[in-house]
Amino acid sequence: MALSKAQKLAILVAIPTIVFLLPAPEGLSLIAWRLFGLYLATIVGLVIKPYGEPVILLAAVAASAATIGNTEGAKELVKVSQTLSGYQSGTTWLIFTAFTLSSAFVITGLGKRIAYHMIGAMGNTTLRLGYVTMFLDLLLSPATPSNTARAGGIVFPIINSVAVALGSDPETSPKKAGRYLLMNVYMVVKTTSYIFLTAMAPNALALSLMAPILGFNMNWIQWFLAASVPGLLCLFIIPFICYLISPPEMKKVDNKEIARKGLEELGPITFREKALAVLFVVALFGWIFADFLNVNATTVALITMVLCIVLSIVSWDDIRKNKAGWDTLIWYGGIIGMSSVLEKAKFFEWLADTLSKNLNFGDQGTLALMVILLLSVAVRYLFASGGAYVAAMVPVFATVGKVAGAPVELLAIGLLFSNSYGGSVTHYGGGPGPITFGAGYNDIKSWWTAGAIIAFGSLIIHATVGMAWWNYLLGMGWLGN
């Protein structure tokens, strides 16, 4: 039975209340214990959602500040102002500004235009349409940190209309083409989402939460280098796997006519689309060569956002209306701030010390690594939000892996990527899932079958090909701080 809002709020109030009433565990400061209670309530709130993420995080930040101010000895470890430190984070603003590029692809119609050109060029079979979806999502992913906006706002409407044009109806003929095409949309986006740092907002969040625990960080180009070999290998296999699991009855497609009609509806290419295409390429080069140019990725994103406004590609009103971008700014900055005060209060240090005394893999660090990565995928069955999973589990898995002797670099990279592809296991594992599944073409059995094969298959590829590639990059000094 679903919980009412009042019941959900009662749970969220009860969690920190119980923690506040209990004495702090041995070795842990009182303020760290109380902040943990608030953090735990926040994570539960992100899962059960009595309110949206921004409201939950603003309340948590306010409660954390009040707790620090009213706990004896707290200010010796952490300052009230540090609860807001997440809003000073460069990665917070990188993600927010990248949302402008994402909305620009929708507003100008450039995303649709690219898609129809790709359909016309290579979509003459349903399998090839699956690969069109893959290439389109891959092309758009560096500039669209909301994979829900990318898949739901650009890719899904096009592929859904293609399924209808092919005579595939959710009620009478789902297997004709729609079941394959729509399943493929979701499975593809869960893989493109970890190939680039800016392809999904929780990527940067996971990196920010993990860095102080493992002492490992990556910039934009290092992230892409690490993800490229295992990620692209998985990506090229996925449309074929979906094709085998949900084989479409229709094999041939009149792609030229579909593309012609789509482009006809869009009309001639506009200045705004041309300008956006140029800015998109410039932004990519800026992120790739950020170190050489002596700028950081956030600076590149801010410049790109300003140019989008100056060139009238989008207006400030468009940015103000970009609800997903502002929501992400609020909750993302809040969760980083809360994690930061926990770190300052030495909570993670205490957790690592406690776990090291009670958890022992001996000298089997590699075994510990594999067990943790397997758990990181399996536990995704319980989460309907990548952000909630990252906030709840990434610090825990990172800490457990470190004290168990897992190689910290491989642990960090493996966890960063498994967050996204692990969400493939269910039709609710990420925002695009309910959208694509909701079209009505798919059944749960085939979807979960494909999801399990793709998620755990991706894990196998990352644990073999991926780790060999990461060890090579580490050996060459191309990854890490």
Lowest mean pLDDT among 97-106, 107-116, 243-252, 270-279: 97-106
- Residue 81 in any domain: the answer is no
Over 80: is that where the pLDDT of 423 sits?
yes
Task: Inform me whether the pLDDT recorded for 71 exceeds 80.
Answer: yes
**234 in any annotated domain:** yes
Burial classification of residue 374, based on how many CB atoms lie within 10 Å of its CB (0-12 exposed, 13-18 middle, 19 or more buried)? middle
Q: Which residues pair with 45 in a beta bridge?
A: none
Average pLDDT of the chain, as a whole number: 87
Determine the Cα–Cα distance for residues 197 and 300; give it in Å rounded to an integer: 14
Tens of pLDDT, residues 437-447? 877 888 888 89
What percentage of the chain exceeds 70 in pLDDT?
97
pLDDT digits (tens, 9 = 90+) for 93-102: 877 877 777 7
pLDDT at res. 221: 92
Q: Does a structural domain hold residue 307? A: yes
Average pLDDT over residues 410-438: 87
- The torsion angle over the Cα atoms of residues 407, 413, 417 and 418, rounded to 10 degrees, is 10
The C-alpha atoms of residue 102 and residue 193 are separated, in whole angstroms, by 13
Whether 151 maps to a domain, the answer reads yes
Distance (Å) of CA 446 to CA 133, 175, 427: 19, 12, 11
Q: Specify the number of domains making up the chain.
A: 1
Residue 359: pLDDT over 70: no
In a domain, 96, yes or no: yes
* Domain assignment of residue 210, yes or no: yes
In a domain, 199, yes or no: yes
Q: What is the pTM of this model?
A: 0.76
More confident residue, 361 or 4: 4
pLDDT in tens, 180-231: 999 999 999 999 999 999 898 889 889 998 988 899 999 999 999 999 999 9
How many Å apart are CA 91 and CA 441, to the nearest integer? 37
| Average pLDDT estimate for 425-445 | 81
Q: Which domain holds residue 180?
A: 91-324
The backbone torsions φ and ψ at residue 125, rounded to the nearest 5 degrees and listed phi first, read -135, 160
Output the pLDDT for position 222.
94
Q: Is residue 188 part of a domain?
A: yes
56 versus 481: which is more confidently predicted?
Answer: 56
